[in-house]
A and B are shown apart, each in its own frame.
Chain A
């Protein structure tokens, strides 16, 4: 059924594309939000991705690869949106944030540190982590979806996980120091 929708949309059937997009938009939005960490950028990226999807569908020869192809379009759109955001980053940072403190609730602290560590990653590293851990794709399929060699996906993933691990460990060290001082 879905494959038929892709086929029909590829041939210019707008109704088929609307049905197809309706089935994809929630997942695309979730992936974009997780990668970009910004609701407005995520919405823009999803909208742009769906427009590009419609425009470029006739070029998709192998409809079986629609999922991977769509992921690639989404991540490209997300990268573009992120690039636009970086010009405003200084303003955002100037507002400042309270440093996270050990709150006694380990899960919450971990989430804060993961968030901080994740935000330090580039979009291409974030994309690998999100497609693997949230999208459930094995790394070779992540590589195929992003159009990168499997070795590159693997090295990006390992680098990202090392960075997240370092963020968590740094947090643990701060917490330990706090306990000693107390």
Chain B
């Protein structure tokens, strides 16, 4: 009787029979009483000036607004003239390699903020009633792309691009799509690649960053973690195959022709995912796992971009798995999540040489609850920004790590979510 469907039925029946039909009398009243004694939290992104503006005479603000508009027009005209002069045009960083640290972008309460990582001073740059989330910088640091979930449109979202200061917001996808993921700018900033749809059938899309259109690239499989291959973005690298990662391969598709090539062939029972391409585009790091429900089996491999010369990044004695690779901007090191238990109970981050010559240095354990911990190197490689999880799988505030010592510290800002660090010209 202990075949799986029978157990499924048994568990369902047992839980249903065991569930109390009614909450005890008085529980609701007690909860409401306690709730009534507490205030509600301010919504994130609330506009602190609203009340102040509301008390001010409307005519007064109309006049002030007109004066400000005139001044702004003058300033824009002057700035435009200056920017047309190549001598004063701002320098932009190369799309890969080391750069200077700029602002960190993050989403909070449905709005997008940027923060100066030195001073910790943050500023709301895209605010509104919609839920905006997960900003990702362009590689020249001039724009960011983010997902906007529109109220009334369950679960679906559209991608928008804004300038670094939050101005010039433009929709780059025409209609809301489900489960938008892994969006990334092309090296020249003209396009954004992304995956959309349920994991079993996640499609590869490319949208023009100016909002002039989006197209689907049919690669004949479910696509996970697409990203442009540096330095020119002529190819998009992704893990493709089944929904759960088992039997995935790693592929490259030529953006212009749609021609597909295999980097790492799929093998039965082996999952390949979390693809990270080296800054010079010559190598790819990825996570390999086998199906074992009793323990995590992830290991991080590094292959040449044609799939040859594969190296498995080493683990110290006692470590049980490694996952979630991210390349340093100079292409010499990789940060990974490293576990010391069967599951996620004892997890650290480790920084290893990308050639697999050493086990590297690591943070204290328990830093994160694994395994979808996203890490991003600062553009100048002096620190790593990470988004830890607790053991419950809930995301905790971002942390900064020293890649030389493994010491972690809280960020001067309070942000939860995937790290996104603006690149500036050195």
Instruction: Spell out A's residues near B (CB within 8 Å).
Output: 12, 14, 17-18, 21-22, 25-26, 28-31, 33-34, 39, 43, 46-47, 50-51, 53-59, 61-65, 72, 75-76, 79, 110-111, 114, 124, 129-130, 133-134, 140, 146-152, 154-155, 158-159, 161-162, 164-165, 168-169, 172
Contacts and interface: CB of A to CB of B under 8 A. Distances in A.
Contacts of B154: 62, 64-65
Given A62-B149, A155-B293, 17 more contacts: A21-B35, A28-B23, A47-B30, A50-B31, A58-B41, A58-B43, A61-B43, A61-B109, A64-B154, A76-B392, A129-B11, A134-B16, A146-B392, A151-B244, A152-B371, A158-B293, A164-B7
Interface string B386-419: 0000011111000000000000000000000000
Given A59-B41, A134-B16, A47 B27 contact: yes
A6 B18 CA distance: 30
20 contacts: A25-B27, A31-B19, A33-B18, A34-B18, A43-B23, A50-B32, A50-B35, A51-B35, A53-B35, A61-B43, A64-B154, A114-B11, A124-B392, A133-B11, A146-B393, A150-B199, A151-B371, A155-B293, A165-B2, A168-B2
Nearest to A117: B11
B324 to A, nearest CB: 11
B35 A147 contact: no
B275 to A, nearest CB: 15
Nearest to B370: A152
Given A149-B372, A151-B244, A159 B294 contact: yes
Contacts of B42: 58
Contacts of A63: 151
Contacts of B198: 140
A101 to B, nearest CB: 19
Contacts of A59: 41, 43-44, 109
Contacts of B32: 17-18, 21, 50
B39 interface: yes
B40 A30 contact: no
B11 A21 contact: no
A169 B27 contact: no
B7 A61 contact: no
B43 A34 contact: no
Contacts of B27: 25, 29, 43, 46-47
Nearest to A17: B35
A29 B38 CA distance: 22
A24 B340 CA distance: 40
A43 B12 CA distance: 22
B57 interface: no
B293 A51 contact: no
Contacts of B44: 59
A25 B293 contact: no
Contacts of B130: 61
Interface string B130-155: 11000000000000000001011111
Contact of A47 (B19, B22, B31, B149): B31
Contact of A76 (B7, B35, B394): B394
Contact of B38 (A18, A26, A55, A76): A55
Given A43-B24, A46-B27, A149-B393, A54 B10 contact: no
